[in-house]
Amino acid sequence: MALTTNQNFLSPIEFKLVLKRLPNVEFFVKSANVPGLSSGHTDRPTPFKTLHLPGDKLQYEEFTVSVICDEDMVAFREVSAWLEAITYPENFAQYGSLNPKTVGSGTSTLNSDGTGVKSDGSLIILNSNKNVNVTLKFSDMFPISVGSISLDTSGADVTPPVFDITFKYEKYDIVV
């Protein structure tokens, strides 16, 4: 196997998040994680020792991003409205605000314009020249958690508050 020819390290500050459903979040993303993968395993006992066999289902970790809260809380309100509409906590009309029309066959609730229950998204990682290097394409994302915003008057510096958004998704593909 050949050694890599690119000896540059991955820069943890050169990335952007693109979600059709959350256009205002893109500018304010502070950090994001590349979710891990795992699979279960099966233990098979034998008279001599237990054998470990690989699992048959791939599991994706949750995708979490930290977002800087803007003064008008636009990004926070945008993702909160999406989560609220998915769960329709007060009435069914809230769900209707998602415009959940079906695209293609099956029961997909993903609209090509990003207004459905789920949305596709991309975490774009840039190289040392700030060009697109690797893209993680997430399929059928939806928020499962919007973190709290902590306000504190005791700080000496004015640092903008940050909140976390946690997503579930069907899968992601790595495109180079």
CATH assignment at residue 107: 2.30.110
Does any domain span residue 119? Answer: yes
CB 145 within 8 A of CB 52: no
Residues 133 and 126 sit within 8 Å (Cβ to Cβ): yes
Per-residue b or e along 122-152, where b marks 16 or more CB atoms closer than 10 Å to that residue's CB: bbbbbeeeeeebeebbbebbbbeebeeeeee
In a domain, 2, yes or no: no
pLDDT at 103: 42
Q: Is 1 part of a structural domain of the chain? A: no
**pLDDT tens by residue, the chain, 176 residues:** 667 777 778 778 889 999 888 888 888 999 999 999 998 888 899 999 999 888 888 899 999 999 999 999 999 999 998 888 888 767 776 666 666 554 443 445 555 555 678 889 999 999 888 889 899 999 999 999 999 999 888 877 888 899 999 999 999 999 98
Cβ atoms within 10 Å, residue 118: 24
**Domain carrying residue 71:** 15-175
**Residue 175, pLDDT score:** 93
Please report whether residue 9 resides in a domain: no
Q: Indicate the pTM of the whole model.
A: 0.79
Q: What's the confidence (pLDDT) of residue 112?
A: 52
pLDDT of residue 106: 45
Inside any domain, residue 8:
no
Q: Does any domain span residue 60? A: yes
Q: What are phi and psi of 175, to 5 degrees?
A: -115, 125
The contacts of residue 137 (CB under 8 Å, 6+ apart) are 120, 121, 122, 172, 173, 175
